[in-house]
Structure 1
Amino acid sequence: MSAPLENGPELWALRFPWPAKDAHKHVRGRLIVVSGDAWSTGAARLAARAALRIGTGLVTLYSPPEALASNAGHLEAVMLRPFDTDLELEQAAGDVDVAVIGPAAGVSENTLLNVLALARTGAALVLDADAITVFRNDPEELFSVLDRDDVLTPHDGEFERLFPGMLAAAPDRVAAARQAAQRADAVVLLKGPETVIAAPDGRAVVNLNGSPWLATAGSGDVLAGFIGGLVAQGMESFEAACAAAWIHAEAAELHGPGLISEDLPGLAPAVLRRLYDER
């Protein structure tokens, strides 16, 4: 197996989805994020705002009815729609490019059913946090519905829930992420100070620009939104995960001390401007 590459723009910048001069919102991708209940709505909004800031044309937050008021009071450009059941969510996602689920979604039967419903659509999935943990008792149920366009974004604890013993048994985190991507048949982004991104075909990169300022609640929710937003715009999922991880860390470094996750989407445009000017 080849050694992993160091993540950086030279790996993906030529395929970054900059809009054409005649672009409009309907060709810049359609993405949905699934909200948690009324007391757990902020994480999904972070992901939704991040997807907009990374360039997605249309972002909609799908919310349980009891959480609509909480979400409505905090949304502007992000659209809001209610859903009651997993079947309603499946129908809603039938014509979107990407669905992000997991940030504060709840470790519940509803979240499990919602993931399975989204997997039945044509949308690429970005699964984070609770959407990973909810399959801890039967990871194969999740793996059976994933495909190579989907992205899993676990930290070490969530990784262990889906791939028990793999981190300890592997010679290093890169090998573990590669094994996990092959087993799940999906892209795996293993978060940490040196985040590893692995694809089912064996490709792997290590993100070395990680920032200690990202050690704050909600930063992973923003990363999920960045990944989903780039996939929604047509970027291949592995490269989208690589680009999102790098941009995420660069944005954190721009701010430095005092960073909170709400800052990150607003910092992304400065990083994007630099990438755009360096084309």
Structure 2
Amino acid sequence: MSELLTAAQMRAIEQAAIESGEVTGLELMERAGTGVVEAIFEEWPELVSEASAEPGLAREGGSAPRPAGPASPRDISGKRKRAVVLCGPGNNGGDGFVVARLLKGRGWDVEVFLYGDAEKLPPDARVNYERWLELGGVQPLTKETFELPHARHRALYVDALFGTGLARAVEGDVAWLLSQIRLSLWPFERSLRETERFVAIDVPTSLCSDSGKLLVAEKDSLAHFRADVTVSFHSPKLGHVIEGGPDLVGKLVVKGIGLPHRYAPAKIVKLADNVRQVGKEDWWLHKYSHGHALILSGGAGKTGAARLAARGALRVGAGLVTLGVPPSAQQEVACQITALMLQRIGDATALDVVLADQRINALCLGPGMGLERARALVPMALGAKRATVLDADALSAFAERPEELFEMLHEDVVLTPHGGEFARLFPDIAEKLAAVPTKGPAYSKVDATREAAARAGCVVLYKGADTVIADPSGRCSVNAAVYERAAPWLATAGSGDVLAGFITGLLARGFAPMAAAETAAWLHVECARAFGPGLIAEDLPEVLPQVLRGLEVT
């Protein structure tokens, strides 16, 4: 898994490397600026003219550019390429000065604006400010000096205002200018973006790098930068993949700047970007070796969700899967299943009898179950101390008395709420998460899920395109279905029931709760991506074998 860093963790990694003597802050700034320029020309090779292209710049780890020769990059009209670099008062601004210098060295016309007092720049940023002054001027970033983008077309805009260092909502001239840029772009956005590119360094201005939330003075403020490409360094940041981050980031490019990963601090969030081995390599094992999952359904006409979950559990490798149905649904379910098994379970007493079979080692309650049935059976199921997934109705059944549920939970439980269910179980946490932040780091979905897991004493999987999974110890990962991994087809009825089934099947196979939740969530997205448009929930279990073959799972 890849690391998803907070701003403080990134600073700690950089500082540790600097204090060790392995690198200087100035070298890191040069590498960062070089990485941004590399990313620009990798994304838009048409901005490079043959005469000005330099070997090595467009390669990871390339050396800093040398001044260009006589020829200069020009657009299709023959005009020189123009860039505007907006620099802020910290080290992000220092990165911007490096970018400006490197573009100037390749023959570009570059305008640089500085927000803040040059005398107060940090030492490394100040050095690069002075290096830039040897090549060009710097204008203050004010309403009076900055010309709006539609007035004079430039090829490139670089946002180097605040980056991960932003700690509060932008105000004053910067807020006004960002709003004006957004308003001026809106009616022309389609045509402008064919000729103009917007690049952010680290994170677009106003985006909190820890939470993916906007730090704005007003709820509907337009004072934020929307990038085509965002270039970050070393590792992605949390705000790149959760909440509204992906919408403002555009395309995320992460460039290495030579920082060793051994300096990574504890409690780092992981990006779920691979899957634990889910194959069945031991050929001599039998079906009970891979577990027996019991999934409880609702009554007549309400069994579809549980059948989806059961199919998912079977496809992900559980040795046996039984549907526990009330008497009213027995005939309905019997007509719908083949590989699945059927058990009549009408009440808590009947469930107790069935759970006497110790080979049943994983339970799933909630999908289509009904609130009354959930209230009756959840206590018995949790009392059995088997690995258990609680989803849908099993969560909503305790919305008025969540503490009653928390008292029954144990460490082998996985809760899988969507946003509404999360708010009903953890109303105070949800309220903090919904608050509009004006300073950073803002309270994030990661913070909320960690707090919920600690309170519940079990794994919590908070669903969404940015699914966050946490356990009571604070261990946390994000299954991000964003950027090239976006899976909008998952927004269909029943897809969450299949996810619950995937988790249950993996629990039956002996996966630990955290690993089961991470692996199931990752496979869930991969199934949607493999199937593509037209997906319905029934397709998810059926495409799983294809996904596993693609992973060379045996």
- TM-score bucket (shorter structure): over 0.9
**Contact residue 190 and residue 196 of structure 1 kept, 8 A:** yes
Which residue of 151, 162, 177 corresponds with 2:425?
A: 162
Contact 1:93 1:123 in 2 (8 A): no
Provide structure 2 residue ranges, at least 5 long, that are not aligned to the other structure: 1-265, 434-442
1:97 alignment partner AA: N
* Residues in 1 aligned to 2:493 and 2:428: alpha-carbon distance in whole angstroms: 26
Provide the secondary structure at the position in 2 that maps to 1:270: helix
Matched, 1:146 2:422: no
Percentage identity across paired residues of the two chains: 46
Aligned to 2:366: 102
Partners of 1:29 and 1:58 within 8 A in 2? yes
Instruction: Give the superposed CA RMSD.
Output: 1.4
Matches of 1:90 and 1:142 in 2, distance apart?
19
Deviations 1:171-203 (A, max 9, x none): 010110000000000100000111001111111
Unpaired runs of 5+ residues, structure 1, are none
- Equivalent residue, structure 1, for 2:447: 175
In structure 2, the residue corresponding to 1:60 is in which secondary structure? strand
- Pairs within 5 Å for 1:152-231: 152-170=415-433, 171-209=443-481, 210-231=486-507
What is the Cα deviation at residue 8 of structure 1? 2.0
Tell me the number of residue pairs that the alignment of Structure 1 and Structure 2 aligns.
274
Write the letter of the residue equivalent to 2:393.
D
Residue 241 of structure 2 corresponds to which residue in structure 1?
A: none
What is the aligned counterpart of 1:59 among 312, 315, 321? 321
- Matched with 2:531 is 255
Match in the other structure for 2:400:
137
TM-score relative to the length of structure 1: 0.94
**What is the SS of the residue equivalent to 1:261?**
coil
- After TM superposition, the runs of 4+ consecutive aligned structure 1 residues lying more than 4 A away are none
SS class of match (1:137): coil
- Superposed CA deviations along residues 119-163 of structure 1, whole A, max 9, x for unmatched, are 111311100000000001111111111111100000000001100
Residue 266 of structure 1 is matched in structure 2 by: 542
Aligned to 2:301: 39
* Residue 32 of structure 1: how far off its partner (Å): 0.4
- Structure 1 residue 21: Cα displacement: 1.5
Deviations 1:72-127 (A, max 9, x none): 1110000001122112112212321111010010112x311200010111311100
- Report if the CA contact (8 A) 1:167-1:173 is conserved: no
Letter in 1 for 2:291: G
Give 2:268's aligned amino acid: A
Report how far residue 17 of structure 1 moved.
5.8
Contact 2:385 2:410 in 1 (8 A): no
How many Å separate the matches in 2 of 1:202 and 1:132? 22
Conserved 8 A contact 1:214-1:259: yes
Q: 1:239 aligns to what SS in structure 2?
A: helix
- 8 Å CA contact retained: 2:385, 2:412: no
